A and B are shown apart, each in its own frame.
Chain A
Amino acid sequence: MKGILSISAAALSGVALIGLTSVSPAQAEDTITAASWGGAYSASQREAYYKPAAKEIDMTVLEDEWGGTLSEIRVQVDTGDYKWTVIDAETGTGLAACDEGLIAELDWDMLGGTDRFLPGSTSDCTVGTIAWATIFAYDGDHFTGDNVPMTLADFYDLEKFPGKRGLYANSPVVNIEFALMADGVPADEVFTYLRENEDEALDRAFAKMDTIKDEVVWWDSGAMAPQLLSDGEVVMTTAWNGRIYNAIVNEGQNFVIVWDGQIIDYDVWMIPMGHPDYDLGMKFIEYASRPEVMARQSQYISYGPTTYAASELINPDILQHLPTAPANLTNAVWSDTIWWADHTEELGERFQVWRSQ
């Protein structure tokens, strides 16, 4: 999702900022405004949800773009002057907004309960709309034949696969989990370990990262990761899956995504607290969560649906590129955003200090 964030930042000057763009010329009964990230991601939502909504549920969806910060929602809730009916946010933002009472609880009866959604994609106030992943990728021209990296342990193995590694600079999120898995912690135990033996787990993660620290080139925007790979600055890098997919499909790069140990996170829908059109917002979210509707979005962008039923409807050609494809899920981690919400600041500081030492 962060990949899209930077696209939208780049597009700030573009059409997206003009604000409310009517999607459907047909004047439907119900009109709502959906806030999202702009760029290719908003385009995929337009095709998958907004345009069909006019015909299928008689609803006009207007679009707006936002920066993903709580203050943008707080202003609307405090003044009662609502711009947005539904908002597409990152999971962590959704949890924080729920804690601070900025968004309303969802009507889970209407959504058919939480069980039909993938694990961790729901909370009282939020429901997942896409699944995106942090993976690692290598240059298929650099490593060939049988001697290619297959696991996170290989990513950390400088003897077997010499060369620079790319890691995300701005946050310890994912870096910690990857280091633990590379050090032998099974994917499904990473967060249990962090919760139960926090100090030991963190020391171990930082010690593991120490082993490759001298060989790390840090990337700090989504586009930089594939750039480092294609420039030959690194031989492998962690990255957001959509970015690597984009480089493979649209730029013809010979990159290979390694799904082992991929960490899956979600984008979620939410409704501002006290919105007079709460019912319309719920109507839209219910519509967007229908399997056949949700399954459309993957045709336009390589992010996966968040319901089991929608996953089954996706064309196999597309499915293989999604984080949620069964073959890619064999050793996947679902990010524990609640644990991270408690630790982002403290570990963020420790991580930055560690990086600079």
Chain B
Amino acid sequence: MASTAETDVMMAADGVPLKIKLRRAERMRKIWALGLIAPLFIFIVGGFIVPIISLMTLSVEDPELNEALPRTAEIFSQWDGEGYPSEEAMLVFAEELSTADRGEFGRVSKRLNYDISGFKSMLKATARASDELTLLPADQILQGFIDIDDDWEDQAYWRAIKGASSAYSDYYMLWAVDLKRDGETGEIISVDEGRAVYVEVLIRTIEISFAVTILCFLMGLPIAYLLATLPTAKSNLLLILVLLPFWTSLLVRTTSWLVLLQNEGLVNDLGIWIGLWNEPLELVRNRLGVYIAMTHILLPFMVLPMFSVMKSINPWHMRAAASLGAPGWKAFLKVYMPQCMPGVGAGTLLVFILSLGYYITPALVGGPDDQMISYWIVQNMGRNANWGLGAALSLILLVLTMVMFFIYNRFVGIDNLKVN
């Protein structure tokens, strides 16, 4: 039997079956191919996916109390939130306060201070006296707390501790949409008026992005049409003019607008000199400035996809429409525009999505009420060191972008997208 098997199988020169030899060679090639894309793959996973996911998880974590005062977190999470927590729970709290690491304690008091301002200093005073608290008999412990600070009589403070006791919570996600859980009932309610800002910021972000997209479209359409219909030599020159700002640093372009538009800037000086207006107009550090600068910066992203699509439209179609009796505007709308749609779709989507995440331009040329969601992400991530809220806002921005993408895909179709 062995001899027949050997004769059935084709052999390579070195006596290894050809099939196996081929498979090996195939495998080597695959490993090669994988090896070539490995750097990119590792870069995307390590530099993009992992950080984003780990950042996003911050938005649903609430770890401070659990890490610093684990037994307190455990026992408070079992309390139903009615009246005061049990004396045992208070005792555990006092004991852990007296032994807490100062650094971790600092983070807990910061977290609880988000709920009720003034909690921080109250907790600090309590921690200082916590050694004596632990010596009190169980029935006097609440009084012991109250003796340190009257506010411990207010159940809201105890409930705030319970509210921070679980390692995962919707605390920051709710905060990012101006909501919170009512301490007593656990129902979701609006935050105080003085703290409500993020819904407005979200609406403002969409509003600015929408307006910039429309402006870019209105200004970009004629430019793209002109580029597509001019002879190549002229259109190439114009194309360079469109691309030139594209190659200049975003920061430089934004700052230039600031120089041009400010009170004693070029535009105002010129306008007053010619006599168009007498007092400097407020062109910058307001919404107008944001629209001007963002439209200018994002215009190439609108023009280029439209241009590349228009370029491919056969000019005979328009002539055919004309010869069939359509007036110019009708031929443009009915024949030309539908063929442009992939370019228009790509341009608007690109501009809209880029606008959503804009930070530096509104920060430089906008006023305080023109700041978009990215500004508040930076504020919370950096200055306030409130990573939970920053992550929650980032998640909202990411979801918003994905929703826009989904809507676009639904109505225009991602297959029709033509960027170049």
Contact = CB atoms under 8 A, between A and B. Distances in A.
A binds B: yes
Interface of A: 74, 96, 99-102, 164, 169-170, 217-218, 231-233, 342-343, 345-346, 348-350, 352-357
A353 B196 CA distance: 7
A236 to B, nearest CB: 14
Contact of B262 (A74, A102, A233): A233
A343 B122 CA distance: 12
Contacts, number: 62
Given A217-B285, A350-B194, A356-B197, A169 B263 contact: no
A349 B195 contact: yes
Contact of A99 (B106, B113, B201, B383): B106
Contacts of A352: 197, 379
Interface in B37-77: none
A356 B113 CA distance: 22
Contact of A231 (B103, B118, B262, B369): B262
B263 A346 contact: no
A345 B113 contact: yes
A99 B102 contact: yes
A55 B361 CA distance: 52
A343 B117 CA distance: 7
A342 B120 contact: yes
B35 interface: no
A231 B264 contact: yes
Nearest to B284: A233
Contact of B195 (A99, A100, A353): A353
A345 B263 contact: no
B: interface residue count bin: 20 to 34
The 3 residue pairs across chains A and B that have the minimum distance between CB atoms: A346-B117, A355-B368, A232-B264
B197 A353 contact: yes
Given A100-B103, A232-B264, A348-B383, 17 more contacts: A96-B106, A99-B124, A217-B285, A231-B264, A233-B263, A342-B118, A342-B120, A345-B384, A346-B117, A346-B118, A348-B384, A349-B195, A352-B197, A352-B379, A356-B371, A357-B197, A357-B369
Contacts of B103: 74, 100-101
A350 B197 CA distance: 10
B200 to A, nearest CB: 8
8 contacts: A74-B103, A170-B383, A218-B368, A231-B262, A231-B264, A342-B120, A350-B194, A356-B200
Nearest to A234: B263
Given A100-B103, A345-B113, A356 B120 contact: no
A224 to B, nearest CB: 11
A356 B368 contact: yes
A345 B110 contact: yes
Contacts of A164: 263
B268 to A, nearest CB: 10
Interface in B109-137: 110, 113-114, 117-118, 120-121, 124
Contact of A233 (B106, B118, B264): B264
A100 B194 contact: no
A95 to B, nearest CB: 11
Contacts of B118: 342, 346
B286 to A, nearest CB: 10
Contacts of B285: 217
Interface in B170-219: 194-197, 200-201
Contacts of B195: 349-350, 353
A342 B121 contact: yes
A102 B285 CA distance: 42
Contacts of A350: 194-195
B369 A356 contact: yes
A164 B201 CA distance: 26
A50 to B, nearest CB: 31
Interface of B: 102-103, 105-106, 110, 113-114, 117-118, 120-121, 124, 194-197, 200-201, 262-264, 285, 367-369, 371, 379, 383-384
A355 B194 CA distance: 11
Nearest to A353: B197
A106 B19 CA distance: 81
Contacts of A99: 102, 106, 124
Contacts of A74: 103
Nearest to A206: B194
A187 to B, nearest CB: 25
A124 to B, nearest CB: 13
Contacts of B102: 99-102
A232 B196 contact: no
A100 B368 CA distance: 34
Nearest to B371: A356
A346 B113 contact: yes
B264 A345 contact: no
Contacts of B113: 345-346
A342 B122 CA distance: 10
Contacts of B379: 352
A21 B371 CA distance: 42
Given A232-B264, A342-B118, A169 B368 contact: yes
B100 to A, nearest CB: 11
A232 B110 contact: no
A357 B178 CA distance: 14
A345 B386 CA distance: 10
A100 B263 contact: no
Nearest to B383: A170
Contacts of B105: 100
Contacts of B367: 218
A232 B263 contact: yes
Contacts of B368: 169, 218, 355-356
A349 B389 CA distance: 12
A109 B10 CA distance: 96
A100 B110 CA distance: 13
Nearest to A228: B262
A92 to B, nearest CB: 13
Nearest to A220: B363
A321 B102 CA distance: 41
A354 to B, nearest CB: 8
Contacts of B263: 164, 231-233
Contacts of A353: 194-197
Nearest to A74: B103
A71 to B, nearest CB: 9
Contacts of A356: 197, 200-201, 368-369, 371
A354 B124 CA distance: 29
A342 B125 CA distance: 12
Nearest to B386: A345
A170 B371 CA distance: 14
Contacts of A217: 285
A342 B102 CA distance: 17
A349 to B, nearest CB: 6
A357 B211 CA distance: 20
Contacts of A355: 368-369
Contacts of B106: 96, 99-100
Contacts of B110: 345
